[in-house]
Amino acid sequence: MSVRSVTVDGHKATVGCMCVYDLVHAEEIPVFVQVKHILYHCGRWLVCGMLSYASRFDPHYHVYCLKPGVEWAVLEVGHGVDWQNLSLYKLNEERVVVLQHRICNMKAQA
């Protein structure tokens, strides 16, 4: 079964939104996934999406400028590094995401 939006344990996923998929390096640069499909498979809600990489941070607008990747990612709803629906915007011909807070890599701190 495929849907456009789902909420699991308080974590909402919507087709078209961006979520933080992973953090790169000690600088904790976010890697984003744009949700393309939400599927129910074997009792689990899965998100399939395309990865996007932060090319730079614009402190004036407080946005990450993105360059699209060609890789697909599949993960369970709520199992990303930071699961919140983020909107994708266009600013001066660049794709950008507003991230209002810093994301820490809890695995590296353990």
Residue 75 lies in domain: 2-109
Residues 6+ apart with CB under 8 A from 66: 32, 52, 53, 54, 55, 88, 94, 95, 96, 97
User: Given a cut of 60, is residue 108 above it in pLDDT?
Assistant: no
How many residues are recorded in the chain? Answer: 110
pLDDT reported for residue 110: 46
The pLDDT, as a whole number, for residue 84 is 85
Where residue 1 falls among pLDDT bands split at 50, 70, 90? Answer: confident
- Those residues whose C-beta lies under 8 Å from the C-beta of residue 43, and which sit 6 or more positions away, are none
Q: Can you give the CATH number for the domain in which 48 is found?
A: 2.30.30
- State the pLDDT at residue 82: 80
Q: How many domains does the chain have?
A: 1
Q: What is the pLDDT of residues 93-104, one digit of tens each?
A: 999 999 876 666
Q: Residue 97: what pLDDT?
A: 95
| Residue 25: both structure tokens together | 């390096």
